[in-house]
Amino acid sequence: MTRIRLGMVGGGNDAFIGAVHRIAARIDDRYELVAGALSSTPEKSAASAEALGIARSYGSFEDMAAAEAAREDGIEAVAIVTPNHVHCAASAAFLKHGIHVICDKPLTSTMEDAHALVAAAEASSAKFILTHNYTGYPLIRQARQMVADGTLGKIRVVQAKYAQDWLTQPLEGEGVKQAEWRTDPARSGAGGCVGDIGTHAFNLAGFVTGLTLDSLAADLDSFVEGRRLDDNVHVLLRYAGGAKGMLWSSQVAPGNENRLTLRVYGEKGGIEWGQENPNVLHYTPYGEPTRILTRGGSGALPANLDATRIPPGHPEGYLEGFANIYNEAADVILADREDKIVAHVLPSVQDGLQGMKFIDACVRSSASDAAWVKV
């Protein structure tokens, strides 16, 4: 197998999400990380590249995009794993040169940048993939297929939740790098918690149900004194076609680590899934006992089996879900080499735009005392 030559922007040696992307890219051995602009200064970038064994280091993503495009052995794809405000400019620089982009979420930090990035992606011959990694879980794929097959009937109610507790105290004032940029409007954008993890819950609800959000009413709070962005979010959702939903996202909920859950109820039955126990999906046909469906186990649908990596009963989760995104991205990139098209359900630039519209609508609604606003 010919590995895809991969670059990375951001994600230096001390960055959590950069390491996650590198592991995800390595799991199926389909990428070779050969270049990077890994930090904000050339010196830090070079130090990280040396520590990680990356052959070519650049002082800026602009230099990296131009230089790699000019090389015969230059990168074919780049992972963008910076804070949100860099996503647009960095992605556009590589798309301009026909280099495929795998970008962390949310799409950007502003609606203006989001529309600019959509235009750049549509004008480029390269592919753009957004790493909403929870869409890569096998039982999320099963849930999506069940809804599409009509197993639940017409969808009536959707409940999405993503609760954490790590920002219960003002860590941004204590030198915690991950907290500093996530609570900084200049780097994160207008949404704090709603952009960081609320978009995951919103994206997952749409991915599984296929529903289009029409309007919402949001109440955003900054409970920690002095915090400039929201750390708790309550949202009521109205979907096209009549379904209703609720979304709660919080980073100040003690006792919650990464509690992403999704419940979907239709006229024939309901399902429930939780990220902290991702190998189980509860399915309840109306009037019947609840059934426990497992990853790769009895009753697994093709969408579940296609995303399953190890035998049922062995835990499989976050890194493998992320790796499924990278693995499917590799299929798309290799097909592009031969001017072929492969079917996939990878999150796209349009999915990213919908996430940005969700954040924007939540901020507008909350500023108007939780008034209903169109998305």
Residues 266, 159 contacting (CB under 8 angstroms): no
Percent of all residues in the chain with a pLDDT value above 90, rounded to a whole number = 96
What integer pLDDT is reported at residue 1 of this predicted model?
62
In the chain, what are the domain boundaries? 4-130, 137-315+354-374
d(CA 315, CA 343): 28
Q: Residue 346's pLDDT is what?
A: 95
257-280 pLDDT, tens digit each: 999 999 999 999 999 999 999 999
Give the CATH fold of the 137-315+354-374 domain.
Dihydrodipicolinate Reductase; domain 2 (3.30.360)
Confidence of residue 343 (pLDDT cuts 50, 70, 90): confident
Tell me the pLDDT band of 40, cut-offs 50, 70 and 90. Answer: confident
What are the start-end ranges of the H helices in 110-227?
Answer: 111-123, 138-148, 177-182, 185-188, 193, 199-209
Give per-residue pLDDT as tens, 119-158: 999 999 999 999 999 999 999 999 999 999 999 999 999 9
Q: What's the mean pLDDT in 159-175?
A: 97
11-30 pLDDT per residue, tens = 998 889 999 999 999 999 99
For 279, phi and psi rounded to 5 degrees?
Answer: -90, 10
- CATH domain 4-130 topology: Rossmann fold (3.40.50)
- Please state, as a whole number, how many other Cβ atoms lie within 10 Å of the Cβ of residue 289: 6
- Phi, psi dihedral angles at 145 (to 5 degrees): -70, -40
Cα–Cα nearest to 49, from 81, 19, 78, 13: 13
In this structure, what token pair is assigned to residue 35? 């270049």
> What's phi and psi for 170, nearest 5 deg?
-75, 70
214-223 pLDDT, tens digit per residue, is 999 999 999 9
List, in order, residues 6 or more apart from 121 with CB less than 8 Å away: 91, 95, 101, 128, 349
Check pLDDT > 80 for residue 354.
yes
Cβ proximity of 194 and 220 under 8 Å: yes
How would residue 79 be classed by pLDDT, with cut points 50, 70 and 90? very high
Q: What is the pLDDT of residues 289-305, one digit of tens each?
A: 999 999 999 999 999 99
Strands of the chain, DSSP E = 4-10, 31-37, 56-57, 77-81, 100-103, 128-130, 155-163, 213-221, 232-239, 244-250, 259-266, 269-274, 280-285, 291-294, 373-374
Average pLDDT across the chain, whole number: 97
**Is residue 38 very low, low, confident or very high in pLDDT (cuts 50, 70, 90)?**
very high
CA angle, 84 as apex, 365 and 176 as ends, to 5°? 100
Residue 38 per-residue DSSP state: -
User: Region 187-212: what's the mean pLDDT?
Assistant: 98
- The amino acid sitting at 74 is G
